[in-house]
């Protein structure tokens, strides 16, 4: 079979998947099982595996009733032997097991993942995925375009495309954002002044209402928005009752300071500042980080942002916090006086990629939490490895860079005790991981 024919065959098999395959795929796709990526109908030798994880060399096969007869069982046995001859481990389940006993199936797969990691010298517990409820995402990036008939539409870009898909309903987003779409469309219209502008409205639901930061506005000619366009944008923001409207982080108008709750503290959110997308997912990650550092005498929170983990950690022990965002650090400092019962917090604006905190800087910290961007934190991780910390909690939105950084800690004597996948971005290719290392 030619490569093109194999691709076409795999695509056809994916289109004709069974109900059990579709159900299991929702729990395997996009790295939702401890960050490990599976493929559907992956070609191995003469066969197409139902599900395959290349990094673990693990195949999962689902059998329907047609597989019950002796001739088919013999064919399945031969198929499994050939797949295993290529160095793969094969797990088999029936469709009925998936539809009636899915938790047991997922537990068996997680155990196989644990064993595969153990063969690589990584002993860990893979916990069940924490799924975010629908309708809870408090952040959305809405792209604005003007159609040929002059209408302004808001929506999402199609995958790997400039094509805009207009959004009127969204099962993922907080309903309060969706209800504001007509008013947000009016706001967006003011930013389409220049024909080359392709505005994106970064919309966040805060304790004070909607906070909107607009990027993608043409600035190269004419100096950006005209005074008239700015006035139209501000008027539309007032009609939409926005807490704040900003352009690339510069505030245009603020009716109320957007605020966010982090643990016992209330923090003023910087314009365009980072915030976890789903409160429930954030709470799950914070809960696991705090539980892991219980008993610590001093904690470091690296890549701290405006204090997502800092304030909950400060209920356990004094915290030193660092992040490259000066606005984030200023917001964190402003939130320190808003809560009682916390230990001391020391915050520093510092680029941890160019100037990672050294073991000397982290002296006395027996627990460290780090939550880097998708690029990971290889240099900072190397410095953490040289500290005397007994507990390290890593939060990652990229399984690949997580594995790289984890190896640095493991080689330094840490053991990876457990990994918890958090499905913060429903129906997307992204997953968060919370990992606990100890030594």
Provide the annotated active-site residues: 397
CA distance 432 to 127: 13
Query: For residue 29, what is the DSSP state?
Result: G
Nearby residues of 150 by Cβ (< 8 Å), 6 or more positions away: none
Q: Which two tokens stand for residue 199?
A: 């505005």
CA distance 235 to 53: 53
- Which pairing describes strands 139-146 and 130-131: parallel, antiparallel, or unpaired? unpaired
Nearest Cα to Cα of residue 262 among 197, 315, 212, 186? 315
Nearest Cα to Cα of residue 303 among 226, 229, 206, 375? 375
Cα-based distances in Å from 157 to 141, 397, 419? 10, 21, 32
As a whole number of Å, the end-to-end CA separation of the chain is 51
- Determine contact, residues 320/348, Cβ cutoff 8 Å: yes
Q: Assign residue 407 a region: left if phi > 0, alpha if psi is -120 to 50, beta otherwise?
A: alpha
Query: ∠ CA(335), CA(337), CA(340), 5° rounding?
Result: 110
Q: Which two tokens stand for residue 74?
A: 């013999």
Strands (E), 167-271: 200-206, 209-215, 244-247, 250-254, 259-262, 265-268
- Determine contact, residues 368/393, Cβ cutoff 8 Å: yes
Residue 385 parent element (H or E)? helix 378-385
CA distance 147 to 364: 59
């Amino acid at each position: 079979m030619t490569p093109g024919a194999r691709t076409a065959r795999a695509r056809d098999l994916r289109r004709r998947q069974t109900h059990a395959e579709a159900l299991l795929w929702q729990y395997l796709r996009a790295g939702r099982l401890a960050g490990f990526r599976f493929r559907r109908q992956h070609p191995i030798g003469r066969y197409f595996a139902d599900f395959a994880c290349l990094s673990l060399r693990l195949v999962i096969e689902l059998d329907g009733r047609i597989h019950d007869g002796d001739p088919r069982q013999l064919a399945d046995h031969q198929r499994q032997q050939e797949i295993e001859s290529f160095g793969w481990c094969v797990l088999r389940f029936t469709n009925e097991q998936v539809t009636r006993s899915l938790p047991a199936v997922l537990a068996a797969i997680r155990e196989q993942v644990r064993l595969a990691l153990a063969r690589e010298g990584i002993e860990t517990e893979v916990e069940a995925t924490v799924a975010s409820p629908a309708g809870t995402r408090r952040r959305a990036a809405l792209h604005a375009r003007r159609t040929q008939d002059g209408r302004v539409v808001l929506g999402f870009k199609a995958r790997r495309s400039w094509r805009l898909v207009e959004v009127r309903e969204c099962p993922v987003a907080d309903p309060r954002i969706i209800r504001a779409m007509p008013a947000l469309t009016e706001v967006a219209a003011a930013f389409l002044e220049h024909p080359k502008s392709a505005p994106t409205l970064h919309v966040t639901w805060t304790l004070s209402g909607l906070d909107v930061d607009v990027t993608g506005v043409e600035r190269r000619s004419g100096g950006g928005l005209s005074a008239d366009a700015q006035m139209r944008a501000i008027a539309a923001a007032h009609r939409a009752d926005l807490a704040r409207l900003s352009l690339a982080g510069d505030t245009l108008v603020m009716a109320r300071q957007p605020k966010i709750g982090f643990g016992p503290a209330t923090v003023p959110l910087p314009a365009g500042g980072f915030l976890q997308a789903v409160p429930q997912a954030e709470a799950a990650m914070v809960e696991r980080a705090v539980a892991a550092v219980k008993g610590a005498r001093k904690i470091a929170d690296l890549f701290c942002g405006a204090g997502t983990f800092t304030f909950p950690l400060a209920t356990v022990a004094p915290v030193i916090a660092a992040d490259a965002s000066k606005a984030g650090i200023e917001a964190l400092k402003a939130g320190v006086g808003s809560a009682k019962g916390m230990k001391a917090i020391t915050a520093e604006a510092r680029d941890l990629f160019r100037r990672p905190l050294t073991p000397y800087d982290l002296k006395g910290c027996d627990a460290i939490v780090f939550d880097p961007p998708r690029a990971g934190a290889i240099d900072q991780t190397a410095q953490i490895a040289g500290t005397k910390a007994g507990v390290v909690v890593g939060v990652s939105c990229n399984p690949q860079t997580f594995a790289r950084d984890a190896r640095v800690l493991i080689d330094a004597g840490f053991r990876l005790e457990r990994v918890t996948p958090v499905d913060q971005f429903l129906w997307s290719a992204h997953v968060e991981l919370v990992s606990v290392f100890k030594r």
